[in-house]
Structure formats: C-alpha cells, structure tokens
Amino acid sequence: MKKLIWLGLAASTLLFGMGTAAVAGDNSENGSTHTSKPSTGCDTVIPGWRAPALNNPSDASALEIGCAVAAWQLRANNDLRYIEYQFPQTSYSRGWVKAAFYIGLDHFAAEINDPGLLARLRQLSNDFGAELGDRPWHGDDQAIAAVYGAVALRDGTPELMKKSTTQFDHIIEQNYTMSLEFTPPTQEGKEGDCQKRWCWADAIFMAPPAWALATRVTGDPKYADYAASETRDVIEYLQDPETGLLFRDSRYFDAKTPNGKPVFWSRGNGWVFAGLARFIDALPENHPELPLMRETFLTLADQLISIQREDGYWPTSLMDPEYLTNPETSGTAFFGFGLAWGLNNGLLEGEKYERARDKAWDAIRLAVTEEGKVGWVQQIGKDPQATTRDSSQLYAVGGTLLFASEMMD
C-alpha cells in the first residue's frame, strides 16, 4: 500500500518575501481528493531561518534536519563557491544537480505541507518556463520535469507539463534502439552515443519518475509505458547477477578498484535505489512492469543491508570497504531514503531493515553541521572518489530531504 502523499495547501503568508497565495485542491494519483494535512512551516522550526539552525544535529528530529538543510542550501544556491571543484552542471538551474535538490525539497515540502517552500517550487517552475534542460533528449536533463509534475498535480495545472510531454512524444516517436553499450560520443553533450537511451545507472533516478508523473498528469499511459520498458532494459543490462548491484555503465563491467575488487559505485546504486522507490510510487498500481521494479528494489535492499558499515554509512566503493574509508553521504542518504520509503509503504518489513534505516539516519545527522550544511559528499563523478568533512553538493541535500521526509513521526 502506498503512503498517502499530502498535496493540499491552505492560503498562508509565505516565506522568502513571496506574499500570499491560495492553491487548488489536493490531487492524488488516483484522482481522489483528501483533506489537507495541517501545515508545519519551517519558519516555525527555524525562526527567521537564521544560522545556526541546529543546536545538536545528532539529536535533531527529521523535521529539524530537513528544515535546516533546506534553509542552508537555499541560502547558498546563488553562491556556490563552497564547492571546491566546480563543474558547469552544478550551477545550471534546470540541470540534474539542482534538479536532485529540488526533487528532495519538493518531497519534503509536500510531506510537511510548508506553504512557503511549496510556493517557492511553484515559482521556480514558472521562472524556468517549465522547460527541460538544454539537452532535452538526455535523461539527466529530464529530471527537473518531476518537479513540474508534482506542482501540476498539487495545483491542478496540467499545462505545466506540456513542454515536457511534447519532448517525451518526440523521443517516443524516434524509437531509439541503439545498444546500451558505452561507445565514444559523436554528439556534443554526451559521454557516449547510447545516451539517447538510459544506458547509465543514474538515469533511473533522473528520468523514469518524471515520465511516470507525466502519465499521472495527462492520463496517457504511453509515458509510463515507455519509461518502464527502458528501465527494464537498463536493469537487465547493468545488474550484476551475483551481487544484485548495478554497474554504473558498461565501461565498469570489468573495472577493478586498486584492491582488485569490482567497482560498484555507492551513489550510482543510490540513484537506482531511490529512483526505483520514486518510480514505483508514481507508476499506476496495475502496471505490468511493477513486479520487476519491486523485485529489483527488494534485491538491492537485501544486498545493501548486508554491506552497510557499522557506523551507518555505506562504503563509497560498495564491494571494497577498505578502499576510500571516509564517510560518503550522497549514497547513504539515497539508500536510507529507499529503506525508509520501503518500510513506510509495506515493501519492506522487519527489524533488519529498520535497524539499517536507523543507522543510516544517525550517520546522516552526524554529517550535518549546526548551520545545516551536509558534509562528506563525493563530488560529481561516475565512480568512487574521496570525500572530506567539508565537501558538499546539492544532490546530497536532495537525498537528505528525501530521507527526512520518510523519517517524519
């Protein structure tokens, strides 16, 4: 049974100097209407949104953690000098890096029914013109459509998904059938020519949930059907039959760590695990591909709880815990979210999953500063790399917000 996502909003004074707004009624995935959840605004948790937001992060509630990390990241969004190694993707408003943060922010804002945060998400959707990224054919640049879809469902404004579905229609018409093997790119903006399809593990987080939401907004099953078919293909192509984990892409099938172990990237599998949770949640209940998605999710869950570190983090290189021993929070946040979501929605049951979830939550809280900054984050990459206490990135904040949303009392 899926957890009820409360989407209603009452008219209220909004944060960030955005005035007041009244919003359309709640729209659930099956079209029924529910009573709005009472609002719990972050401005009541962090008056004035001032730092330090937390007195003791390791003892903070999920609401306090979520509000603190959201506040810190929103303040930092226009000045990213805190990120040591800058990549163009980081500052690009409609790209996957910021989209991952906005997806987490949307999930958290809807869970606590924060009028200010929900209004901010509505505003940015309009400010972005409800456009996909500059590479609309690329799964990474489709991630932001999940925010547009969520806003459209809350507000009853299906036109917000029109530009996304127009591009999705074009992709369906192209009927790409190239191999999922990474080969040298012939087009700018691609790592490999297979990227007009979803041939890398991260894509399971980036694209399928947005496509499934397009079906919820429009009522047309073709978007969910396309996403499910492509997701099946990438799972079958990249999943290791021995461990159940996914390789990041075909270039890692035979790759080894310096210790001679296979390379299974923590955040790469975090994208998969969290992406599957979001995709399962958005797919129609009777979709024929749901059994595969659930089976893959359960296989990953069982493998993940068996390799979690005692301190609650997962190894940066999942099958080589001796390589890169510092904490890594982006993978851990996504894994923790997936476990918490699975427990909340009845896909996972039992103390072993609860224990792993709680250890992960304790680990994430230890990585958050009193100001609300999430540390120990691996920077942009495609395989395991080093972290530091001060290293941060927007996608880890998004993962933390997803996790906090599922840890609410």
Which residues are known to be catalytic? 202
3-state DSSP call for residue 21?
Answer: strand
Structure tokens of 322? 């001796």
d(CA 314, CA 304): 8
**Which residues pair with residue 295 across a beta bridge?**
none
Residue 94 is classified by DSSP as T
Amino acid (one-letter) located at 404: A
User: From the CB of residue 126, how many other CB atoms can be counted at a distance below 10 Å?
Assistant: 13
- Tell me whether strands 12-13 and 20-21 are parallel, antiparallel or unpaired: antiparallel
| Inter-residue contact 180 to 197 (CB < 8 Å) | yes
User: From the CB of residue 386, how many other CB atoms can be counted at a distance below 10 Å?
Assistant: 12
Q: What are phi and psi of 27, to 5 degrees?
A: -125, 110
| Inter-residue contact 244 to 302 (CB < 8 Å) | yes
3-state DSSP call for residue 314?
Answer: coil
Which residue is associated with the tokens 């408003």? 93
Residue 370 is classified by DSSP as T
Nearest alpha carbon to residue 176 among 194, 203, 163, 202 = 194
Amino acid (one-letter) located at 103: I
Query: Is the peptide bond between 241 and the residue preceding it cis, with omega within 30 degrees of 0?
Result: no
